Structure 1
Amino acid sequence: MKSKKNKARFGKRLAVALIMLLLIGILPAGAFAGSAPTAKSQAATSAASGKNVVAYYPSWATYDRNFQVMDIDASKITYLNYAFANVVNGEVTVGDTYADTDKFFPGDCWDAGCKRGNFNQLTKLKQKYPNLKTIISVGGWTWSGGFSDAALTDASRTKFADSAVRFIRTWGFDGVDIDWEYPVSGGLQNGRPEDKQNFTLLIQKLREKLDAAGQQDGKHYLLTIAAGASPSYLQNTEMGKVASYLDYVNIMTYDFHGGWEQRSNHNAPLYADPADPFPDKSTFNVSAAVDGFIRAGVPASKIVLGLPFYGRGWTGCNSAGNGQYQTCTGTPQGTWESGIFDFSDLEANYINKNGYTRYWNDVAKVPYLFNPSNGTFISYDDAESIGYKTSYLKSKGLAGAMIWDLSSDRNKTLLTKVYNDLQ
């Protein structure tokens, strides 16, 4: 007993001494920290300190949309995902050279070696908002064709992961977001059956390389994915295994319906509506998608819920039911492309304006617009439906919300709603 008491006294004295050294500044605050935080500990830390707001900024917003990086209110964002980098010859490369690295903005210099473009604007944004983390999103619908080859062998996966590390070090990003649309099948180019296992191995290799770089650089590099919300995505991936290497899984809980169908429906219904004639309505909704990922082994604390800041429309729709769940003849001209409407455009020109009346589906918990004179039906999210979704994600213990995309909400109406609900 005497020996144990002496050890206990020594332990207490040592602890007091170490605390005193920390307080007077002789030892750095991180002197007894372990290695760079793992994906698991990083997610737990963020979840404990509040919900995340993950927002995508697309490179093309700098063109006709004229929504620039400097227009972003980063005080309301945790992680800013820049879309997209490309996959060329198995490596992560700059997607749009002009927008990303060459475009001249006020204050930029023309001399050789000067940094310009959106990437430099992101650096300036982080200087203004030191808590902001920027993540490069790789792939997307258009540029996912190179993933299957990149994930095929250990050598190709190593090549891809090494290029990702070089990319974020070169351009000052805090992590990588993989937006492979989609392993095995889907997207613009079908993959291979073995993508299911190779996707896991690719993410594992990325985690390994990012952690090694983080050890050298004294920081934790984030690794996330944008995941499809349909049951087929879960069938074609090993999400329980994949999630173990990730900080967060951003589920794209939108685009459940759109102009590729001949019947009007909702872009992002929170719950299934029994009145919906769509045969897969029980799985094509936000709640079912989240439950599917949790059943697949993804911890709720790593799931980030996707929120669309845009609407989808049909035209030539039957007027029965105020255009909801009706056969239609096509898609109307949207804000920038056919059938897709920015929320700020809907605010200014459509919601209870110009012949469009707002209605509410109290089962699916989403609004919609209908104009009987031209048969145009538009499904979208607004502050009311966003409120139901933020309440839902909090009740499920999810990590936060993901926004696609910032350029669609110029008045910051929806961003402010998300931030206020989750801060």
Structure 2
Amino acid sequence: MVPQHLRPEFKLKTCLYYSNWSIYSKKFTPDKLPFHLITNLFYSFMDIDPHTGAVILSDKWADIEVPFNNGQATYKGCLQYLHHFKSKYRHLKLSMSIGGWSFRDNFKNGISTDEKINNFANTAIKFLTEYGFDGIDLDFEYPENEHDATQYVKLAQRLRSMLKQIENEKHLSPGSLLLTLAIPAMPESLRFFKLHHLDQYVSFYNVMTYDFAGSWSNKVQLPANTTRYSGGEWSVNDTVSYLLENNPSISPKKYILGVPAYGKVFRNAKGLQSSFSNVEDMDFKTILNTYLQDPQACQNKMQQDSIVLVTNSGKDVVCFDTLQSVRNKARIVVDNRLGGMMWWEACGDGIGEHSLVKAFVFSLANGPADLDGSINNVDYRDSKYLSFK
């Protein structure tokens, strides 16, 4: 089935998170990224020293040491290698993502005082200029009280001020250095995000519209369903409506809709609303290779919305987004004038015709021509790390 073409009113973003642990067991190195389809790449994650607030590398070997050789040069670490691709694909903006679920306590403690906030901002800016980033992505999961909320706004204000200073010094266009936020989809987790205060400092928001269900759930539910269904508690449409209705001063195009490049395998379950013993996250491409090996069956399933597969002799339930799910969510993006789509995480996407990213891009009226083509920054002449050339 040919998807209905969508006509966005402005250029859209395709945002992928790339984890530094991808290079290990998954062997997903930077050269495997679909750079021609990506406008924004978020390198994940930088850690925070909870005692000082300093931003630190979470995996020095992966970040700046592991050698990559493309036959012409050897690059030290993922960040040097990604800078090479930035120079080749000038539409690609690279941001460092700081925090994430694993480092949530370090983030909270790392901004607990104003002194730590200043140290956080200063070290983040040093990372930006030393390692060749176009922006800073804050992933605080999640502010839990008014103090957290206030400190988060202070951090965003401080970072935006410093980014503006660099733009002026380097004669970059205003706003070209990005400050983005990963934000949750559920109202209870959004409670202490002061979006109306944060927005003046933020370039756009990556909305994590997934993980509506998981190991914490009482029964099998869809983890990223587009619309509400019988027995379901939340949906992507619910998140979009909530954000737009409760934050009327924020431009809709600053919201980037998140899509999971993974599914959830509920063990010892019989179907939706059934009980289960435990849950495993599984990459989208692994699900296809494990449960949909027949090419025709796979093709047929990919033309349906969020899939619920009962497998392993009726003992497991696999829930995941499909190509059609992405096309349906593309309509939500365009109809609500949102800014684009985001995926967690890059290594999980399918290959070729089964790529979720490709499904989104080619559902647009003009394909890649409808994507943001603004130019990145490749001038980091003061960087010792990037002086390898």
SS in structure 1 opposite 2:278?
A: coil
**1:350 corresponds to 2:291:** yes
Correspondence list, 1:210-359, <5 A? 210-219=163-172, 220-273=176-229, 275-276=230-231, 281=233, 284-297=234-247, 298-318=250-270, 323-331=271-279, 339-351=280-292
TM-score, normalization: structure 2? 0.83
What is the letter of the counterpart of residue 165 of structure 2?
A
**Alpha carbons 2:95, 2:135 under 8 Å: kept:** yes
Percent identity between the two aligned chains: 26
Alignment-derived partner of residue 387 in structure 1? 327
Confirm or deny: 8 A CA contact 1:262 1:330 kept in the other structure. no
Secondary structure at 2:329 match in 1 = helix
Unaligned runs of 5+ in 1: 1-46, 185-191, 332-338
The structure with higher relative contact order (CA 8 Å, sep 6+) is 2
Name the residue aligned to 1:175: 135
Is residue 363 of structure 2 the alignment partner of residue 421 of structure 1? yes
The aligned amino acid for 2:57 is V
CA distance in 2, matches of 1:361, 1:65: 27
- Following TM superposition, by how much is the alpha carbon of 1:104 offset from its aligned partner in structure 2, in angstroms? 1.1
Count of residue pairs brought into register by the alignment:
347
Shift of 1:122: 0.5
Match of 1:400 in 2: 340
Q: Secondary structure at the match of 2:142?
A: coil
TM-aligned CA distance change 1:401 to 1:58, over 3 Å: same
Offset of residue 48 of structure 1: 6.2
What amino acid sits opposite 1:395 in the alignment?
A: D
Q: Give the direction of change, closer, same or farther, for the CA distance of 1:307–1:250 in structure 2 (3 Å limit).
A: same
Aligned partner of 1:310: which letter?
Y
Provide Cα deviations, 1:120-170, integer angstroms capped at 9, x if missing partner. Answer: 111111122111110000011111222223333333222211111111100
Q: Distance in 2 between matches of 1:261 and 1:48?
A: 38
1:5-64: CA deviation from partner (whole Å, max 9, x where unpaired):
xxxxxxxxxxxxxxxxxxxxxxxxxxxxxxxxxxxxxxxxxx964110011111011001
Shift in Å, 1:217 = 2.0
Could you say what secondary structure the match of 1:327 adopts? coil
Please say if residues 209 and 258 of structure 2, whose CA atoms lie closer than 8 Å, have aligned partners that are also in contact. yes
Provide closer, same or farther for how the CA distance between residues 108 and 90 of structure 1 changes in structure 2, counting only shifts above 3 A.
farther
> Residue type matched to 1:210 in 2?
L
Please state how far the C-alpha of 1:198 moved relative to its aligned partner: 1.6
**1:304-338 CA distances to partner (integer Å, 9 max, x unpaired)?**
000111101112113xxxx122112333xxxxxxx
- 8 Å contact 1:310–1:408 — kept in the other structure? yes
1:158 correspondence with 2:106: no
Aligned mates of 1:173, 1:108 — CA distance in 2: 25
- Aligned in 2, Cα 1:218/1:351: closer, same or farther, shift over 3 Å? same
Letter of the structure 2 residue corresponding to residue 414 of structure 1? L
**Is the Cα–Cα contact under 8 Å of residues 228 and 252 in structure 1 kept in the other structure?**
yes
Q: One-letter code of the match for 1:253? A: T
Alignment of 1:73-152 (within 5 A): 73-88=34-49, 89-106=52-69, 116-152=76-112
C-alpha contact (below 8 Å) 2:302/2:324 kept by paired residues: no
The change in CA–CA distance for 1:102 and 1:234 in structure 2 (over 3 A counts) is: same
Give secondary structure in 2 for the equivalent of 1:144. Answer: helix
Q: TM-score, normalised by structure 1?
A: 0.77
CA RMSD of aligned residues (A): 2.5
Q: Secondary structure at the match of 2:43?
A: strand
Query: Could you list the runs of 5+ residues in structure 2 that have no partner in the other structure?
Result: 1-7, 365-369, 371-389
